[in-house]
Amino acid sequence: MCGIVGYIGKRQAAPVLLDGLSKLEYRGYDSAGLAIYDGSAINIQKSTGRLKVLSELTHDGSTMPGTVGIGHTRWATHGEPNDTNAHPHFNEARSIAVVHNGIIENYIKLKKKLVDRGYRFVSDTDTEIVAHLLDYYCKKTQGEVIETITEVMHRVEGSYALGILFADCPDKVYALRKDSPLIVGKSADGNLIASDVP
């Protein structure tokens, strides 16, 4: 079972997300990753193995500045445990990043349609489908994010909790769920999403 976290607020996001992911380690995982918006772009760091590896790669989050981000611990269901299959996943332009807990049941059918439309996939995961679908419908809706997300939700079958960053909407973390747990926390310092209460 995967773990997802998201943060937007006054603090640096990466250390908050790493702390949140550490509280979800009990769920089991084989890789971890972060996507942080730094003011101009979404930066992504992923690693196979324990969360400690990701913490060391990012110097406890200090090499990933920004106050908006999402994080993930992955338990492989589609594709081997490796850095490529680790979350977050993104569109080709790296302007949309996605973390996901759950299973996209119709991902093979969706992937074929996207490949036929010229999309290239780098991972073996079902989650990368969501990033490319968001990209596809974002172009069709002319960047209307809620409409884009709604279009994707109507096409994806299965269970999911998603955390999404759009570089064009740098002051928001989008979160949605269907049949998978997702909670929202609010505080004076910022707002959080997570796949479990801890």
pLDDT tens-digit profile, the chain (198 residues): 588 999 999 999 999 999 999 998 776 678 899 999 999 999 999 999 888 999 999 999 999 999 999 999 876 565 566 777 887 999 999 999 999 999 999 999 999 999 999 999 999 999 999 999 999 999 999 999 999 999 999 999 999 999 999 999 989 999 999 999 999 999 999 999 999 887
Q: How far apart are CA 36 and CA 158, in angstroms?
A: 27
Cα angle, residue 86 at apex, residues 127 and 134 outer, rounded to 5°? 30
Amino acid at residue number 135: D
Structure-token pair, residue 138 = 């974002």
Q: How far apart are CA 10 and CA 182, in angstroms?
A: 22
- Local structure of 190: helix, strand or coil: strand
Beta bridge pairs of residue 175: 163
